[in-house]
């Protein structure tokens, strides 16, 4: 994989084709579990693990799976990986597992994972497919972190609430102090739609400004061709 190909895959996953802001995939878990930054990032990391290994497995098996049954086979692979992640969360982060609940098993039907498996991993080599899965997953994670942090900050005035479920002894950071009354709608479902709408609007504004800046830049100038006289002079000098 060339450096340019790596940059293109990274740019697509992190920004240009971001699953949460550009493709608008997997909105159910994005909106439902993003009440705090810790919960949102935890589900995002679980999705990254599944997406990365699923892309690698599907890319390696793509020449052995008949085209007619590819979707059931892809879902079977994803379901096996989700089961492993689900059991790992239950074993090592049991309190967090109870909070995330059904949303970890629902990664099986998450259209983000299935879309990348079908659109990219089934058509490319294992290395680029693995990188694509990682970058698409990281693109989802930063959106979840920003959305969860924004909702938690406005709704409760804290950040990293629930971190003690992952790091024993750690505690949430109270940004606005204990007297902050909270903004209830931010942590309710309507607040998720409002916050995601704001993020999408900012995303579109940034893309519009980047496109306008690219249009204002002059095209690269091509080197002028050598004239006949210059070519004859070079030939005489060489002789």
Between these two residues, 183 and 226, which has the higher pLDDT value?
183
User: In 3-state terms, what secondary structure has residue 225?
Assistant: coil
| Whole-number Å distance between alpha carbons of 95 and 97 | 5
Ranges assigned E (strand) in 127-194: 158-159, 173-174
**pLDDT band at 224, cuts 50/70/90?**
low
Q: What is the pTM of this model?
A: 0.86
User: Does the pLDDT of residue 167 top 70, yes or no?
Assistant: yes
71 phi and psi, to 5 degrees? Answer: -65, -50
Q: Would you state the pLDDT for residue 225?
A: 59
| Whole-number Å distance between alpha carbons of 213 and 220 | 15
Give the residues across from 159 on adjacent strands: 173
User: Does the pLDDT of residue 238 top 70, yes or no?
Assistant: no
How distant is the alpha carbon of residue 81 from its chain centre?
18
| Whole-number Å distance between alpha carbons of 47 and 137 | 7
With a pLDDT cut of 90, the percent of the chain lying above it is: 69
**pLDDT band at 222, cuts 50/70/90?**
low
How distant is the alpha carbon of residue 8 from its chain centre?
14
Q: Would you state the pLDDT for residue 182?
A: 86
Ranges assigned E (strand) in the chain: 158-159, 173-174
């Amino acid at each position: 994989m060339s450096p340019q190909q790596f940059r293109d895959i990274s740019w697509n996953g992190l920004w240009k084709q971001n699953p949460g802001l550009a493709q608008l995939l997997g909105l159910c878990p994005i909106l439902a579990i993003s009440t705090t930054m810790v919960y949102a990032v935890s589900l995002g990391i679980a999705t990254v693990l599944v997406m990365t290994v699923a892309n690698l497995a599907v890319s390696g098996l793509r020449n052995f799976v008949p085209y007619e049954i590819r979707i059931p086979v892809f879902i079977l692979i994803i379901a096996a990986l989700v089961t492993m992640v689900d059991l790992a969360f239950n074993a090592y982060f049991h309190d967090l597992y109870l909070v995330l609940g059904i949303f970890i098993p629902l990664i099986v039907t998450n259209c983000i994972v299935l879309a990348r498996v079908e659109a990219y991993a089934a058509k490319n080599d294992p290395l680029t497919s693995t990188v694509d899965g990682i970058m698409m997953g990281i693109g989802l994670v930063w959106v979840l972190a920003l959305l969860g942090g924004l909702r938690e900050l406005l709704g409760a005035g804290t950040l990293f609430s629930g971190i003690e479920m992952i790091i024993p002894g750690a505690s949430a950071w109270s940004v606005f102090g204990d007297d902050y009354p909270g903004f209830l709608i931010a942590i309710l479902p309507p607040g998720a739609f409002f916050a995601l709408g704001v993020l999408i609007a900012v995303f579109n504004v940034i893309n519009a400004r980047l496109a306008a800046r690219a249009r204002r830049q002059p095209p690269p100038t091509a080197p002028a061709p050598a004239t006949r006289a210059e070519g004859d002079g070079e030939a005489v000098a060489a002789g």
